[in-house]
Amino acid sequence: MTPTRVDSGAPTALLERAIRLLGCFGPAGNALTLTELATLTRLPLSSCHRITATLVEGGFLTRGDDRRYRVGNALWTIAQHAPLSEKLRESALPALARLYEESGENITLAVLDQGQALYVERLMGERSIPTVSRAGAHLPLHTTGVGKVLLAYQPDEVIEHYLAAPLSTPTPDSIADPDRLRRDLRLVRDRGYSITRQEMTVGSGSIAVPILQDGTCVAAVGVIVHLARLDVNRLVATLNRAASTIVAELDRA
Amino acid sequence: MTPTRVDSGAPTALLERAIRLLGCFGPAGNALTLTELATLTRLPLSSCHRITATLVEGGFLTRGDDRRYRVGNALWTIAQHAPLSEKLRESALPALARLYEESGENITLAVLDQGQALYVERLMGERSIPTVSRAGAHLPLHTTGVGKVLLAYQPDEVIEHYLAAPLSTPTPDSIADPDRLRRDLRLVRDRGYSITRQEMTVGSGSIAVPILQDGTCVAAVGVIVHLARLDVNRLVATLNRAASTIVAELDRA
DNA sequence: TACGAATCTTCCATTGGATGGAAGTGCAAG
DNA sequence: CTTGCACTTCCATCCAATGGAAGATTCGTA
């Protein structure tokens, strides 16, 4: 009757638990006690204890003198070999650094991940303005410069699927209306860059351009500036130059 | 009889296997097939398959169209919250970028990890010379600028323990004699910086200084240059300025 | 296009490792 | 000293992991 296919969905419960546990380490709390972990994961304390012990032994976690668990160096080291680091970040860093030198502004590099903008890198100096983004952070697609680019270059069904869900409004200027957003995204694709004005943070805006590899948008580079300094033409030109450098570097690898 | 203490060394076999499996992803091969993984881990193919399936499901691995496994974004994201990234790298990046701007040379930031120098960051442009280091890479302590600094500021027993093991010699100029190295390390501590001349790579040398937080050396910053350009005084001054900026930033966090 | 080899996926009976409640330990505050 | 909280250890039960083997795919080669 049923087409079966029993396995595949590996019922490796213990591993799933461990992954869930590691997932607790995030922006909100990177140093957790055993009880905190047990609460967050809804695992029995003793099971939690057993799992963390093994993770510590393997270097995936460390435990400080404060008895709190933190992400360990072994995990970090492995992550450095993720395509995200090894290919994208590595290829883009020099160009991003130059971009930062030239503009002195907040530079961000992001990819699409889990229906959000995943910030792969962020360069930010004293001169630039504070932002919410952080390397490793996930932000909405429709309220960030890089996010709008990433979304705009997706196939229509992905865009529609995104628009179908309710859209958050971090600021009064955030675009939450599907129709307005649809128009905005079309504009982004037509012009080849996105503009954001106080849609994520009041007082600041952003420009972003896609990094296109044979037609598909693999990432987006953006710059976040104080609204008053939002010189679109100049920034787009600078960003485009950086983007093409990055593309060249990516192809070389 | 025995003081017991049975538990603690958590016998979570499955997790240990999974950790071992993830550890296969390194400089030598960041895209592995199932059979390769099974061989490397010496695990039965089916067990390997089950584990990878769960890891993929959890986003710790991804599988490309080439059927090769790669480190996934979820793992990478978690790693961004490691103290190594969130505290050290984050605090140091601006200063490192400036250092790179000023010198145009290869800049490295490393910590002590598992008796080796773990490269936390590396900035390298077109102008600078090629090196073996890479973010996430482990290199010997006695053949690298940052390594010698990290080792020099360790307690004597750690140094002696390091010297007790046989020392590798990547180049003819590598210092493998314990006595010579001991003298060199003392010199490093006295002067506050290390010099390396063709001890890791023929033709290039390096200077490194410690990042000291209330007496202990938490990391080291270094610059790698062509031997001919090894202007010690100037580089040491520049590095020290960067180091104090980083310390200030670390204390602020 | 067809074949065989290599690689990958699924299955399932067995069993040993994971499970979690409970008891034990240690520490800090009242 | 007592109480409470956070953590660690223990152990009998049982179910999830195990891995060999068979089936399915993919790939290279003729």
One pLDDT digit (tens) per residue for chain A, 253 residues:
334 444 555 679 999 999 999 999 987 778 999 999 999 999 999 999 999 999 999 999 999 999 999 999 999 999 999 999 888 988 898 888 888 878 888 999 999 999 999 999 988 766 566 666 678 999 999 999 999 999 999 999 999 999 999 999 999 999 999 999 999 999 999 999 999 999 999 999 999 999 999 889 999 999 999 999 999 999 999 999 999 999 998 988 7
* 8 Å CB contact of B123 and A25: no
Pairwise CA distance, residues A162 & B133, whole Å: 41
Strand D contact nucleotides, protein CB < 7 Å: 6-11, 16-21, 27
Closest Cα of chain B to A180: distance in Å?
A: 31
Nearest to B73 among A15, A80, A84 (CB): A84
The answer to whether B14 CB sits below 7 Å from nucleic acid chain D is yes
pLDDT at A2: 34
Q: Which single residue is written with the structure tokens 């881990």?
A: B41
Which distant-in-sequence residues (6+ apart) come within 8 Å of B228 by Cβ?
none
Closest Cα of chain A to B145: distance in Å?
A: 20
Pairwise CA distance, residues B40 & B47, whole Å: 13
* 8 Å CB contact of A97 and B94: no
Pairwise CA distance, residues B237 & B100, whole Å: 14
Q: Is B222 helix (H, G, I), strand (E, B) or coil?
A: strand
Q: Single out the residue of B43, B16, B21 nearest to residue B32, CA to CA.
A: B21
Residues 11-40/A with CB within 7 Å of nucleic chain D are 11-15, 33-35
Nearest to B82 among A71, A137, A138 (CB): A71
Q: Across the strands, what pairs with A156?
A: none
> Both tokens of residue A93?
């860093």
Which distant-in-sequence residues (6+ apart) come within 8 Å of A13 by Cβ?
none
Q: Single out the residue of A128, A124, A137 nearest to residue A97, CA to CA.
A: A124
Q: Calculate the alpha carbon distances from A133 to A59, A109, A200 in Å.
A: 28, 10, 10
Closest Cα of chain B to A198: distance in Å?
A: 26
* 8 Å CB contact of B71 and A83: yes
Task: Give, in Å, how far the C1' of D14 lies from the CA of A13.
Answer: 15
- For the entire predicted model, the pTM comes to 0.89
Closest Cα of chain B to A134: distance in Å?
A: 9
> In chain A, which among 113-132 make CB contacts under 8 A with chain B?
113-114, 118, 123-126
**Amino acid identity, position B9:** G
Tell whether A19 is within 8 A of chain B (Cβ).
yes
In A25-165, where does DSSP find H-type helix?
34-41, 45-57, 73-79, 83, 90-103, 145-152, 156-164
- The DSSP secondary structure of A204-244, one letter per residue, reads EEEEEEEEEETTEEEEEEEEEEEGGG--HHHHHHHHHHHHH
> SS3 letters for A63-90?
ECCCCCEEECHHHHHHHCCCHHHHHHHH
Q: How many CA atoms lie within 13 A of B146 on its CB side?
A: 31
Q: Which residues of A touch B59 (CB under 8 A)?
A: 19
Q: Single out the residue of A198, A163, A199, A195 nearest to residue A182, CA to CA.
A: A163
The answer to whether B204 and B196 have CB atoms below 8 angstroms apart is: no
Q: Which residues of B touch A79 (CB under 8 A)?
A: 71, 75-76, 78-80, 136
CB-to-strand C contacts below 7 angstroms: A 4-8, 13-14, 17, 43-47, 50-51; B 11-15, 33-36, 45-46, 49-50, 67
Q: Which residues of B touch A76 (CB under 8 A)?
A: 79, 82, 84-85, 136
Q: What φ, ψ does residue A137 adopt, rounded to 5°? A: -85, 150
Tallying the residues shown for chain A, one arrives at 253
pLDDT at B2: 35
Task: Give, in Å, how far the C1' of C25 lies from the CA of B250.
Answer: 37
Q: Which residue has the higher pLDDT, B3 or A170?
A: A170
Computed over every residue of chain B, the mean pLDDT equals: 91
Element (H, E) at B195: strand B194-197
Interface contacts (A, B; CB < 8 Å): 181
Backbone dihedral region of B203: left (phi > 0), alpha (psi from -120 to 50 degrees) or beta? left
Q: What is the pLDDT of residues B45-95, one digit of tens each?
A: 999 999 999 999 999 999 999 999 999 999 999 999 999 988 898 889 888
Pairwise CA distance, residues A96 & B188, whole Å: 34
To the nearest 10°, the Cα dihedral for A237, A243, A249, A251?
Answer: -120
Q: What is the pLDDT of residues B160-181, one digit of tens each?
A: 999 999 999 999 999 999 999 9
Q: What is the pLDDT of residues B87-125, one digit of tens each?
A: 898 889 888 888 887 888 899 999 999 999 999 998 876
Pairwise CA distance, residues B68 & B251, whole Å: 43
* 8 Å CB contact of A55 and B19: yes
Chain B residue with Cα closest to A95: B125
Q: Single out the residue of A207, A233, A203, A204 nearest to residue A221, CA to CA.
A: A207
Closest Cα of chain B to A147: distance in Å?
A: 17
When pLDDT is cut at 50, 70 and 90, the band that residue B139 belongs to is very high
Task: Give, in Å, how far the C1' of C21 lies from the CA of A166.
Answer: 43
Q: What φ, ψ does residue A115 adopt, rounded to 5°? A: 70, 20
- The DSSP secondary structure of B175-213, one letter per residue, reads ---HHHHHHHHHHHHHHT-EEEESSSSTTEEEEEEEEEE
Pairwise CA distance, residues A71 & A76, whole Å: 8
Tell whether A30 is within 8 A of chain B (Cβ).
yes
